């Protein structure tokens, strides 16, 4: 009996991923500044959607308040560079740490709410952070502030070097976030998460520490989301409470990506983010009509194909680029009848 | 005797799991039929299929001549099919009287009224304003039966009404059966207690692993054949 | 006296929050559904009032005779043809579908009415006050709003506990499968509950439109106020929503007295404090 994790698919995915990452890493050679800028936005959104998917799709923590951590990350980056004198890249990682730490007291409160009420509770938490941010006069209060020119200039030698640096930071960030999500889901905690998803009561009675695992996921999501937020506002160079804690930009769009791509599959948010940006590039002129259409698409998908594009690819073609489950394969000598490979 | 309920080759599924295989059965007007069988034999599934809680082929079940398989539960109640579910399933936020009243709200008109249910089970009148959860198991079972009667069913389905009750309470409830079916109501009782079931019924079906393994008159069927049908020996 | 004045205003605003909360609490009680678009429906009702008052030349309160039934109809239809399909063991479909609805309503209103803020004119009643003392007076309109909220919650309470309709709602809340055995169509009851919820929302929307400026983007904040009032008051208790609304209103009034920027923050903090020290709220009850 051998336990594998869809070895062939994994290997294929690994080769494909290597090619894609190599192509993306060399993008500064072949893409212009505006495309690099766009790609960086895609990276940030993939990171956000991956983390939302980890919360909602795998851990039953449906949050409508992840904009809290985007804003915290952005504001932490501005504060640490402006008042702490840190290099923006160091500040970006520190912003993540701050996001992860702040997730602890937030969780202590919102984890008291169950299910759908958790969703709104997390939203209230984000509102609180938004209102607090608008009280920080040193960072421009309600109207916000720009990153001082000296920090921007000191970041790297020249405009192009700065653009490349932000781009590569974005690429590194999205790789770290996806890698972290996969590692977490494949760990024993990930196994426990799927057990919880299957049946929380049964998992509890089998000694799975449901709340601690959910807390772990929530903190990891806070860490990664805050880093993504720091990146987003490092790219924008300007921050304000309304932009930093926007539920539309940092949660609604992210939810659309996860829903369209496929909730509960690691590749879902990646697919969803690509679809989202393609739609946005071609339809964003429509303004609010475009947003209405997105809402409609999300509703239709939720009703007709709740597992999204990735789920459809999986069911229809067996497409599973990032297997999480281990497969048990029995060799035929051990059993007279050869059972089908089983998911554990 | 005219058939009120006629089931022909009924299959029933829970997802991919098949719980009933080719079950055929009939209940005459005013007849009491018992269905016995061990745990997991498919007795409850059969009642749930009749009451519309499990999807079935439309023509697998006929009631009063009309195909009713798969019709929704609340519509079947209007036709006169009422189920006393296993475990009683009273509404905990309703008082005893409210549990009875809601039973009569959407059913048929007929002899069963609040007053008549209270005559049948006088203890319920004393407890009318209490929450149903504060009653003893036997009293809760009386509420469940009363709630079903309030809809004036033509066919009453009772799922394991003796489950978890003291023998003396079970006897007390079964002693009321003649009063319950006095107006020509048909009755199907599902029981694990074979003696009780045989004593109360005219005919008996035995289910085993989702199939009918025995059908006969309750008075003449032998204990040996029941045991054989029950355990498959 | 200034402080007392603020607190009285806070109490009266609490009535409006209680209206937001009652509609939310009702559908959660009956079918465990949380409608993320709840606040957007409040704003939709405000815009409907705008259209109806202009088209028919009637006052805002009279327009309720049209808008409340209309919203109830919308609620019933929405539940029967859309939301009933999302109900089940999985939490995500109802949440995300109502989230999608929220986005559609907000942007639909933007498309039709532009982002400019509007207000409904109610005439002389808007500025009328009842002087209680030389320093303290109560606006007639806020008082009316509060009294309507109390009457509405009292009415809902009576409906739930005194009528056969309410019996069906409570029984469905208890056990939506068994309720079908007594002839109640659970899908229909869910539709009625949503219809009732949006009728309450209609009243809240009209008062919102008369009391203050409104624009298409203000729905989510109304959802949050309603939600906070529900949690402060205790899940599933209608009178609790009134208490929760009042606590929230007073906290906001005190906050804004300290510093105008603190109005919303103070309300959220009151909610978070309740969540920290008494997560079951002040008047918890399991049933609606």
- Read off the pLDDT of residues B13-46 as tens digits, 9 standing for 90 and up: 988 899 999 999 999 999 999 999 888 889 999 9
3-state secondary structure chain C: CHHHHHHHHHHHHHHHHHHHHHHHHHHHHHHCCCCCCHHHHHHHHHHHHHHHHHHHCCCHHHHHHHHHHHHHHHHHHHHHHCHHHHCCCCCHHHHHHHHHHHHHHHHHHHHHHCCCCECCCCHHHHCCEEECCCCCEEEHHHHHHHHHHHHHHHHHHHHHHHCHHHHHHHHHHHCCCHHHHCCCCHHHHHHHHHHHHHHHHHHHHHHHHHHCCECHHHHHHHHHHHHHHHHHHCCCCHHHHHHHHHHHHHHHHHHHHHCHHHHHHHHHHHHHHHHHHCCCCCCCCCCC
On the question of pLDDT at A343 being above 90, the answer is: no
DSSP one-letter code for B161: T
Q: Mean pLDDT, to the nearest integer, of B91-114? A: 94
pLDDT confidence tier of residue A335, bands split at 50, 70 and 90: very low
On the question of pLDDT at C287 being above 50, the answer is: no
pLDDT of residue A85: 92
The answer, for C123 touching chain A at a CB cutoff of 8 Å, is no
**What is the percentage of chain B residues whose pLDDT exceeds 70?**
99
On the question of pLDDT at B230 being above 80, the answer is: no
The answer, for C259 touching chain B at a CB cutoff of 8 Å, is no
The answer, for C204 touching chain B at a CB cutoff of 8 Å, is no
The answer, for C178 touching chain B at a CB cutoff of 8 Å, is yes
pLDDT of residue C285: 63
- All domains of chain A, ordered by start, with CATH? 2-343 (1.10.3470)
Cβ atoms within 10 Å, residue A24:
19
pLDDT of residue C127: 84
Give chain C positions within 8 Å (CB) of A124: 224, 227-228, 268, 271-272
pLDDT of residue B16: 84
pLDDT of residue A2: 58
DSSP helix/strand/coil, B189: strand
Phi, psi of C32 (to 5 degrees): 55, 35
Query: Token digits for C96?
Result: 């995300």
Query: Token digits for A308?
Result: 């999204």
Mean pLDDT, rounded, of chain A: 88
Contact C100 A113 (CB under 8 A): no
3-state secondary structure chain A: CEEECCHHHHHHHHHHHHHHHHHHHCHHHHCCHHHHHHHHHHHHHHHHHHHHHHHHHHHCCCCCCCHHHHHHHHHHHHHHHHCCCCCHHHHHHHHHHHHHHHHHHHHHHHCCCCHHHHHHHHHHHHHHHHHHHCCCHHHCHHHCEECCHHHHHHHCCCHHHHHHHHHHHHHHHHHHHHHHHHHHHHCHHHHHHHHHHHCHHHHHHCCCCHHHHHHHHHHHHHHHHHHHHHHHHHHHCEECHHHHCCHHHHHHHHHHHHHHHCCCCCCHHHHHHHHHHHHHHHHHHHCHHHHHHHHHHHHHHHHHCCCHHHHHHHHHHCCCCCCCCCEEECCCCCCCCCCCCEEC
What is the nearest CA distance from B105 to chain C, expressed in angstroms?
A: 8
Write out pLDDT tens, residues A148-188: 999 998 888 888 999 999 999 999 999 999 999 999 998 88
On the question of pLDDT at A333 being above 60, the answer is: no
Nearest one of B21, B19, B29, B23 to B7, comparing CA atoms = B23
User: How many whole angstroms separate alpha carbon C127 and alpha carbon A150?
Assistant: 54
Rg (CA), chain C: 19
On the question of pLDDT at A344 being above 60, the answer is: no
Q: Which of A10-24, A294-308, B70-84, C216-230 has the lowest mean pLDDT?
A: A10-24
What is the nearest CA distance from A129 to chain C, expressed in angstroms?
A: 9
pLDDT of residue A338: 38
DSSP helix/strand/coil, B131: strand
User: How many whole angstroms separate alpha carbon A1 and alpha carbon C167?
Assistant: 58
Q: Mean pLDDT, to the nearest integer, of C174-194? A: 95
Cβ atoms within 10 Å, residue B111:
10
What is the nearest CA distance from C134 to chain A, expressed in angstroms?
A: 36
Nearest one of B44, B7, B15, B26 to B210, comparing CA atoms = B44
What is the nearest CA distance from B59 to chain C, expressed in angstroms?
A: 21
User: How many whole angstroms separate alpha carbon A93 and alpha carbon A98?
Assistant: 9
Greater model confidence, B15 or A329 = B15
Nearest one of C33, C80, B224 to A117, comparing CA atoms = C33
User: How many whole angstroms separate alpha carbon B6 and alpha carbon B28?
Assistant: 9
Q: Is A in contact with B (3 or more beta carbon pairs below 8 Å)?
A: no
pLDDT confidence tier of residue C251, bands split at 50, 70 and 90: very high
On the question of pLDDT at A197 being above 80, the answer is: no
DSSP helix/strand/coil, B19: strand
Give chain B positions within 8 Å (CB) of C181: 51, 73, 77, 82-83, 85, 89, 148
Q: Which residue of C has its CA nearest to A115?
A: C91
Q: Which residue of A has its CA nearest to C277?
A: A109
On the question of pLDDT at C53 being above 90, the answer is: yes
pLDDT of residue C161: 92
Q: Which residue of C has its CA nearest to A260?
A: C96
Q: Which of B71-75, B211-215, C80-84, C124-128 has the lowest mean pLDDT?
A: C124-128
pLDDT of residue A3: 58
Q: Which residue of A has its CA nearest to C109?
A: A288
Greater model confidence, B182 or C117 = C117
Q: Mean pLDDT, to the nearest integer, of C158-179? A: 94
pLDDT of residue A195: 76
Tell which of C100, C102, C104, C110 to mutate to test the A interface (max A CBs under 10 Å). Answer: C100
B88 with B141: CB under 8 angstroms? yes
pLDDT of residue A93: 97
Q: Mean pLDDT, to the nearest integer, of A7-20? A: 80
pLDDT of residue A1: 54
Ordered by start, the domain boundaries in chain B are 3-231
Give chain B positions within 8 Å (CB) of C174: 91-94
CATH architecture of the domain formed by B3-231: 3-Layer(aba) Sandwich (3.40)
Fold assignment, C2-114+141-277: ABC transporter involved in vitamin B12 uptake, BtuC (1.10.3470)
Contact C91 A60 (CB under 8 A): yes
Give chain B positions within 8 Å (CB) of C287: 92-93
Tell which of C181, C186, C192, C287 to mutate to test the B interface (max B CBs under 10 Å). Answer: C181
Q: Is B115 exposed, middle or buried (0-12, 13-18, 19+ CB in 10 A)?
A: exposed
Q: Using alpha carbons only, give the angle C36, C38, C40 rounded to the nearest 5 degrees.
A: 100
Contact C99 A64 (CB under 8 A): yes
pLDDT of residue C111: 94
pLDDT of residue C52: 96
ipTM field: 0.92
Q: Using alpha carbons only, give the angle B131, B135, B138 rounded to the nearest 5 degrees.
A: 140
Stated pTM of the model: 0.91
On the question of pLDDT at B233 being above 60, the answer is: no
DSSP one-letter code for B58: G
On the question of pLDDT at B228 being above 70, the answer is: yes
Mean pLDDT, rounded, of chain C: 92
Write out pLDDT tens, residues A198-215: 677 677 766 668 888 999
The answer, for B98 touching chain C at a CB cutoff of 8 Å, is yes
C160 with C166: CB under 8 angstroms? yes
Greater model confidence, A305 or C267 = C267
C185 with B72: CB under 8 angstroms? yes
């Amino acid at each position: 009996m051998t336990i594998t994790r869809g070895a062939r698919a994994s290997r294929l995915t690994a080769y494909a991923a290597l090619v894609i990452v190599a192509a993306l890493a060399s993008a500064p050679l072949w893409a212009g500044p505006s495309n690099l800028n766009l790609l960086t936005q895609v990276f940030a959104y993939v990171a956000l959607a991956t983390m939302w998917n980890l919360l909602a799709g795998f851990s039953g923590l449906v949050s409508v308040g992840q904009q809290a951590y985007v804003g915290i990350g952005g504001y932490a980056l501005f504060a640490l560079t402006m008042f702490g004198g840190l290099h923006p890249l160091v500040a970006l990682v520190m912003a993540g740490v701050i996001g992860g730490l702040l997730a602890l007291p937030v969780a202590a409160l919102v984890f008291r709410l169950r299910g759908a009420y958790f969703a709104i509770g997390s939203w209230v938490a984000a509102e609180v952070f938004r209102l607090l941010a608008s009280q920080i006069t040193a960072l421009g209060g309600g109207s916000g502030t720009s990153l001082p020119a000296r920090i921007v200039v000191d970041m790297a030698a020249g405009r192009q070097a700065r653009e490349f640096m932000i781009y590569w930071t974005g690429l590194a960030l999205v790789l770290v976030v996806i890698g972290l999500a996969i590692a977490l889901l494949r760990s024993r905690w990930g196994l426990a998460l799927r057990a919880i998803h299957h049946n929380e009561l049964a998992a509890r009675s089998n000694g799975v520490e449901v709340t601690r695992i959910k807390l772990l996921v929530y903190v990891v999501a806070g860490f990664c989301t805050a880093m993504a937020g720091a990146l987003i506002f490092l790219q924008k160079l300007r921050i304000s409470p309304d932009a930093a804690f926007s539920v539309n930009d940092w949660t609604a769009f992210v939810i659309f990506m996860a829903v369209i791509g496929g909730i509960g599959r690691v590749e879902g948010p990646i697919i969803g983010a690509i679809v989202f940006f393609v739609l946005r590039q071609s339809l964003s002129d429509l303004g609010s009509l475009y947003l209405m259409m997105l809402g409609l698409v999300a509703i239709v998908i939720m009703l007709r194909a709740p597992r999204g594009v990735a789920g459809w690819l999986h069911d229809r073609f067996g497409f599973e680029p990032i297997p999480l489950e281990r497969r048990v394969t029995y060799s035929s000598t051990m059993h007279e009848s050869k059972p089908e490979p089983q998911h554990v | 005797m005219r058939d009120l309920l006629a089931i022909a080759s009924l299959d029933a599924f829970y997802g991919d799991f098949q719980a009933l295989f080719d079950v055929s059965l009939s209940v005459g007007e005013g007849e009491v039929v018992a269905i016995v069988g061990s745990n997991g034999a498919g007795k409850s599934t059969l009642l749930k299929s009749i009451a519309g809680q499990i999807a079935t082929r439309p023509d697998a079940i006929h009631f009063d001549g009309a195909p009713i398989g798969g019709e929704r539960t609340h519509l079947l109640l209007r036709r006169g099919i009422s189920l006393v579910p296993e475990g009683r399933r009273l509404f905990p936020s309703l008082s005893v009287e409210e549990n009875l009243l809601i039973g009569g709200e959407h059913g048929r008109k007929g002899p069963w009224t609040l007053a008549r249910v209270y005559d049948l089970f006088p203890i319920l009148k004393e407890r009318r304003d209490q929450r149903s959860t504060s009653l003893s198991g036997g009293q809760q079972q009386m509420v469940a039966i009363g709630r079903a009667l309030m809809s004036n069913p033509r066919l009453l389905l009772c799922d394991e009404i003796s489950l978890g009750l003291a023998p003396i309470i079970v006897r007390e409830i079964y002693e009321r059966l003649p009063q319950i079916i006095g107006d020509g109501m048909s009755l199907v009782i599902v029981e694990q207690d074979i003696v009780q079931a045989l004593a109360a019924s005219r005919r008996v079906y035995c289910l085993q692993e989702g199939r009918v393994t025995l059908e006969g008159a309750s008075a003449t069927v032998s204990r040996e054949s029941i045991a054989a049908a029950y355990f498959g020996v | 006296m200034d402080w007392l004045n603020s607190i009285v205003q806070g109490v009266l605003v609490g009535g409006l929050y209680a209206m937001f909360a009652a509609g939310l609490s009702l559908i959660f009680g009956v079918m465990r559904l949380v409608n993320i678009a709840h606040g957007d429906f409040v704003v939709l009702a405000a815009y409907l009032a705008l259209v109806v008052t202009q088209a028919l030349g009637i006052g805002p309160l009279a327009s309720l005779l049209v808008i409340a039934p209309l919203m109830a109809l919308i609620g019933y239809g929405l539940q029967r043809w859309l939301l009933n399909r999302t109900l089940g063991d999985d939490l995500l479909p109802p949440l995300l579908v109502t989230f999608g609805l929220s986005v559609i309503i907000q942007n639909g209103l933007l498309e039709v009415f532009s982002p400019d803020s509007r207000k409904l004119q109610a005439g002389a009643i808007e500025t009328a006050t009842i002087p209680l003392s030389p320093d303290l007076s109560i606006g007639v309109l806020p008082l009316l709003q509060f009294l309507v909220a109390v009457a509405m919650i009292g009415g809902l309470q009576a409906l739930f506990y005194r009528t056969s309709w309410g019996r069906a709602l409570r029984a469905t809340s208890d056990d939506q499968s068994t309720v079908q055995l007594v002839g109640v169509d659970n899908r229909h009851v869910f539709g009625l509950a949503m219809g009732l919820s949006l009728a309450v929302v209609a009243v809240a929307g009209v008062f919102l439109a008369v009391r203050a400026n409104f624009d298409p983007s203000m729905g989510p904040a109304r959802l949050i106020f309603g939600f906070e009032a529900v949690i402060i008051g205790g899940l599933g208790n209608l009178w609790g929503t009134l208490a929760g609304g009042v606590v929230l209103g007073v906290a906001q009034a005190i906050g804004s007295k300290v510093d105008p920027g603190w109005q919303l923050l103070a309300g959220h903090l009151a909610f978070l404090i309740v969540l920290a020290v008494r997560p079951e709220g002040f008047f918890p009850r399991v049933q609606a």
